[in-house]
Amino acid sequence: MSLLQPELYSASCIKRFEKPVLTKDDIPYDASLIFNAGVAKYSGKYVMVFRNDYGPTEETYPAVKFRTSLGLAESTDGIHWTVSEKTIFDNKSLLPTDELKRFYDPRIIVIDGKPYLCMAMDTAHGVRGCIAEAAEDFSSFNIISASVPDNRNMVLFPEKINGKYVRLERPFPVYSRGRDRFDLWLSNSPDLVFWGESELVLGVEDVPYANDKIGPAAPPVKTEKGWLTLFHAVDIDEARGKNGWEKTWKKRYCAGIMLLDLNEPSKVIGMSKLPLIAPETYYETESGFRQQVIFPGGMILEPDGEVKIYYGASDTVECLATAHVDDLLALCTESRK
Ligand code: BMA
């Protein structure tokens, strides 16, 4: 399979912060790859829960296996972060026989003033998307709902719609589609525990720069025009050579943006036909564990219209890009060359 578009670029309204906002050098415990964080504004400050895969180095991987922990950081400006001394989860004490293997790729959502985490949960019997109530200080969490396998990249909307909680999610239907070809879905719930009324929102074939899979990214942000919604979109090129620590990594992850209907959020009312953020900088394309990966997990709309987008780059560092909300809305509704 060949590349759909050999060169992809970020939208011109995207401004990257000059360097990653969190890396292993900021972490006060065993850390290696710091990425795919969830970020929200909560109790007057910015809160981040980030993924830390640690253990091997480029030289010892894959003989040495990764451990995964989830770390916590706080910030007053959303740019400079102070990392808590303790992790909120670490799979180092789990046994090979345990059903739970790890949590990863957290997203933070605040609904009616209450904080929740959505995470991927690897188990001995498949990947489950789970929802957890988080403690006020995010130091712990309690799982209240977990899907059947395989599902991940679950994100909640920040409020009920038509009286129900709503989530975006990405099941992995491995048999029915011939090969990896995974799409973005939506489900409803009366109580955050029981989920149903599932509907397809966006298929891989709807995204011109994806040929492999797509999935939810950050929790959607409400605007007058609709739910501003990020997603990730993956293209695979068998001709790509070594692209990171792994000899066989051939995928590229971009961030996409779309607008969902305010009252009927399974309806896409606009989508940029080109990526919002494509891998471009050194730390996105030329260094790290799996290069060419942009994986957003947090989006915050500031009172002045600035939108902060937090994304993991190359499964190695956590980054920040900003854009004005009006420019993002325009991308969803206008065509762009
Ligand atoms: C996906 C997830 C993400 C990761 C991405 C790129 O399938 O595992 O956690 O960032 O692959 O490796």
- The residue extents of the domains of the chain are 15-334
The Cα 12–Cα 10 span in angstroms is 6
- Of 270, 254, 261, nearest to 330 (Cα)? 270
pLDDT of residue 180: 80
pLDDT of residue 133: 98
Q: Which atom of ligand 1 is nearest to the CA of 293?
A: 6
Verify whether ligand 1 is closer than 6 Å to residue 131 (CB atom).
Answer: no
Tokens matching residue 104 = 């990863």
For residue range 174-233, what is the model confidence (pLDDT) as tens digits? 888 777 889 999 999 999 999 999 999 999 999 999 999 999 999 999 999 999 999 999
The Cα 249–Cα 285 span in angstroms is 12
What's the 3-state SS for 220-252?
CEEECCEEEEEEEEEEECCCCCCCECCCCCCEE
CA angle 95, 119, 195 (to 5 degrees): 115
Verify whether ligand 1 is closer than 6 Å to residue 122 (CB atom).
Answer: no
The Cα 80–Cα 77 span in angstroms is 7
Whole-model pTM over 0.85: yes
| CB 211 within 8 Å of CB 236 | yes
Architecture of domain 15-334: 5 Propeller (2.115)
- Using left for φ > 0, alpha for ψ between -120 and 50, and beta otherwise, residue 315 falls in left
Verify whether ligand 1 is closer than 6 Å to residue 290 (CB atom).
Answer: yes
Verify whether ligand 1 is closer than 6 Å to residue 315 (CB atom).
Answer: yes
Q: Find the 162 Cα to ligand 1 centroid distance in Å.
A: 32
**Cis-peptide into 106, omega within 30 deg:** no
The Cα 238–Cα 265 span in angstroms is 35
- Low-confidence stretches of the chain (pLDDT < 70) are 1-5, 335-337
pLDDT of residue 60: 96
| CB 135 within 8 Å of CB 141 | yes
Q: Find the 217 Cα to ligand 1 centroid distance in Å.
A: 11
pLDDT of residue 247: 83
Q: Find the 68 Cα to ligand 1 centroid distance in Å.
A: 13
Percent of the chain with pLDDT over 70: 98
Sign of CA dihedral 131, 134, 138, 141: negative
Verify whether ligand 1 is closer than 6 Å to residue 293 (CB atom).
Answer: yes
pLDDT of residue 142: 98
Verify whether ligand 1 is closer than 6 Å to residue 295 (CB atom).
Answer: yes
pLDDT of residue 337: 38
pLDDT of residue 242: 73
Q: Which atom of ligand 1 is nearest to the CA of 36?
A: 10
**Residue closest by Cα to atom 10 of ligand 1:** 315
Q: Which atom of ligand 1 is nearest to the CA of 253?
A: 6
